[in-house]
Structure 1
């Protein structure tokens, strides 16, 4: 653990964050962090239990004189997105995150930091352990597998929580009070394909498209960053038309909810066209650098000669494949007519994996309008259905409909202005939050999401602004102290 980070204010929160980050916690592999949190509760004499799906619930009685206040549930997810740079040697299943201070920010060495949603988790730990705080009854809900399926939120049973107010700690811009979010659905494409022997007279190359920023496929989809899978396919499509390219494998992207930063392909061209092919790749790199000079200026394409593969795709499948990926929608589809600047509907071509006769494409569609979400999912699947692939839509989760007349929102707006001398920004977001799902199990919960400033989540450039964590925590304590009495 980094002692410099642990000495930041508030020290207890940053110490808990460092302790949490020392524990591996990939999505769907939360066993170690669950044990860590249950040990924490036992050490501090906090009531804690695990529900049937794997979520952890902790409860803390009201401080003296605050027993008549409404019960508040603080909520964060315990899993993190595991992304690393290609040149970083790191195992998310066994190693802890290595954080460091860079000016006004805390970052990680070559990996995601886990501030999404680790700062929220550490905040809840700090509130539970501090016996000096003034507050009404508090419950803390630590959900599992938010990043790859919202499994914990979906599996949460009614009757476990007594709260009437939910404060989600997963918003990533200081000063924003979020009261709505998009829903989502996963679209997965699979197929098998025939291969044939590589003819004589060919040279083979490994293409490496790197340097893209990537990022959160909801919160950052509107920034116009390059999608490595779309750019690689564009390169292959054009090269195929010009040089009669033969493709043996493609591997791009790593997580469904992250904009893909890298893509790799093994291709073959006639030996007498190899020099022209490499020049063509250099020209395409220059085009990409020009087109993305503002949003993704570090994009690059490396060409490395490799041994010839034994087999390549058949010409028919390759033509169908490159056309289908070319036709597959990606990025922002529609902006909201109701909230200025809010993305209504988007889709992310997250992963393309093609090798040894097996073909898989993973995508994620988001929308604040359920019918639009379903429509764009059908559009994503359509070009692949035309080539005979299996297309499955699954893991659909609802959006969170805004409630501008929320009583806790009004209280939080007033407290924010009093504490910081400016108005909070009340908004809805295109990213997925668990509030809508939890609200189905607990109808009537008054819900708001907020948090400190976190930049570049879901990428190795993730960082959290130190000063905003201090202010976020002070603001949360003021909210808990000011929760209204039971109605």
Structure 2
């Protein structure tokens, strides 16, 4: 309940988060949250701008005595990933997020929480509204569509901002200061196929993979999480190899930047093979669950009889499809040779749709090295083209190259140590896609940094924000604002 959230400390932050989470704001559908943010800025009497793509900029003058400090840009994105559990009834287009407190964590009931990047947005709103917080001149930048294409950052033109320092509030570990990130590209394979009438000798079965953790396809790609699309393909491949299983439909995964949690398939098998098929596929399902029992203890694989489908895929296309998905890399491609424990390049097989004579496979390839990103993208392209697919590249965005000589970094590291008993923050690049790399194309001289509170399970219904970490983060933000360098 939002009333429970509003009692948390710091109240300025959590109240603004509750206000924000009452507004539906899925990616590509940000009209309501854009209006909400514009009304907020205008209501405060501050200069408020909506640019031509829908980004909102709110400008606030420096407080007394801070006029000689550099102007800062405080930036977060308005949209959120919309994921829910299979058994959760929820409409992201019309409903606000239903939150609750669970010990030291804030969670949502069966959906994503929107802490990514709602806590960043709420932070900026609280600072814009408060009259007793010391700060330099602020340009608050609220971008749209970060989660499904970064089109807000891409569409932001040069000349709208005058700030010399950008504070991106989209990092999910409170002991980390981000100085770089991965770029990314969507790799989409499509093709059509002929459908065949299902022979009378066959019967229908439904296969369901569900209960996986899911998660962020950048930050968590190295954790060994189960990918429902890969697991489903393994079941289908085995069923075809041993029993001539034929595919009618597949619907797996959801968003490009979320590790797939669920997949559903409708298939047909020879009635005479039914008993052997059930024994074999259940044995394989148990083997898979055993392999993943540490990371995916709640994995469920269900195989149940259903109405026999009228049509099935062309046999040759089915063979090529299952082999291509088997061969396509999912997970880490290369670790960074320069930054310890950083994933350099990876791929997430995010979406698989087979229906009504059409195949669509969607991947998100990430890398902090442009040449490596394109190497993996071309590998995937070659894999899918060998099966007759057309492959499209889209949504290409650059990474953010670390600047270890950053002036704001030199401010933030000692401040963190002073506030945390001498503990040194982890200064690192991340494997997620942040908007800093894109924003830097039109604002190349801007000094950029990224940080935030602890958020776990982003992009999944297990998303949660740590209350004690938010308190730590809020104190840190206020100290940073007091210590922005002079012009």
Which interval holds the TM-score relative to the shorter structure? over 0.9
Q: Which moved more, 1:307-316 or 1:73-82?
A: 307-316
Q: Which residue of 1 aligns with 2:21?
A: 21
Displacement of 1:93 in angstroms is 0.6
Q: Which residue of 1 aligns with 2:120?
A: 120
2:94 is the counterpart of 1:81:
no
**Cα shift readout 1:88-109 (whole Å, capped 9, x = no counterpart):** 0111111111000001100000
Contact conserved, 1:57 with 1:142, CA < 8 A, in 2?
yes
Q: Which moved more, 1:101-110 or 1:418-427?
A: 418-427
Q: Which residue of 1 aligns with 2:429?
A: 428
Contact conserved, 1:281 with 1:301, CA < 8 A, in 2?
no
Alignment of 1:387-402 (within 5 A): 387-402=387-402
Aligned-partner SS, 1:215:
coil
**Cα shift readout 1:334-388 (whole Å, capped 9, x = no counterpart):** 1111111100000000000001101101100000110010010111121221122
Distance 2:116 2:54 in 1: 19
Aligned-partner SS, 1:221:
coil
**Cα shift readout 1:270-292 (whole Å, capped 9, x = no counterpart):** 11221221222211121111111
Alignment of 1:144-223 (within 5 A): 144-223=144-223
**Cα shift readout 1:99-154 (whole Å, capped 9, x = no counterpart):** 00001100000000000000000000000000111111111000000001110110
**Cα shift readout 1:289-332 (whole Å, capped 9, x = no counterpart):** 11112111221211121111111012111111111111111100
Alignment of 1:270-419 (within 5 A): 270-419=270-419
Q: Which residue of 1 aligns with 2:470?
A: 469
Q: Which residue of 2 aligns with 1:2?
A: 2
Displacement of 1:257 in angstroms is 0.5
Displacement of 1:222 in angstroms is 0.4
Displacement of 1:46 in angstroms is 2.0
Distance 2:358 2:482 in 1: 57
Distance 1:303 1:156 in 2: 49
Q: Which residue of 1 aligns with 2:451?
A: 450
Q: Which residue of 2 aligns with 1:459?
A: 460
Contact conserved, 1:397 with 1:437, CA < 8 A, in 2?
yes
Displacement of 1:57 in angstroms is 0.3
Contact conserved, 1:285 with 1:299, CA < 8 A, in 2?
no
Aligned-partner SS, 2:324:
helix
Distance 1:166 1:380 in 2: 35
State the number of aligned residues. 486
Distance 1:282 1:104 in 2: 40
Distance 1:135 1:241 in 2: 66
Contact conserved, 1:288 with 1:299, CA < 8 A, in 2?
no
Distance 2:154 2:65 in 1: 35
**Cα shift readout 1:141-189 (whole Å, capped 9, x = no counterpart):** 0000000111011011111111000000000001100000011000111
Aligned-partner SS, 2:372:
helix
Q: Which runs of 5+ in 2 are unaligned?
A: none
Displacement of 1:246 in angstroms is 1.0
Distance 1:170 1:391 in 2: 31
Displacement of 1:440 in angstroms is 1.0
Distance 1:314 1:208 in 2: 22
Aligned-partner SS, 1:392:
strand
Contact conserved, 1:100 with 1:106, CA < 8 A, in 2?
yes
Q: Which residue of 2 aligns with 1:66?
A: 66
TM-score by length of 1: 0.99
Distance 2:292 2:55 in 1: 42
Displacement of 1:41 in angstroms is 1.3
RMSD: 0.8
Distance 1:359 1:91 in 2: 27
Distance 1:384 1:409 in 2: 43
Q: Which runs of 5+ in 1 are unaligned?
A: none
Distance 1:171 1:151 in 2: 19
Contact conserved, 1:235 with 1:284, CA < 8 A, in 2?
yes
Q: Which residue of 2 aligns with 1:109?
A: 109
Runs of 4 or more above 6 Å deviation: none
Aligned-partner SS, 1:318:
helix
**Cα shift readout 1:51-72 (whole Å, capped 9, x = no counterpart):** 1111000011000111110001
Q: Which residue of 1 aligns with 2:244?
A: 244
TM-score by length of 2: 0.99
Q: Which residue of 2 aligns with 1:53?
A: 53
Aligned-partner SS, 2:222:
helix
Distance 2:74 2:222 in 1: 29
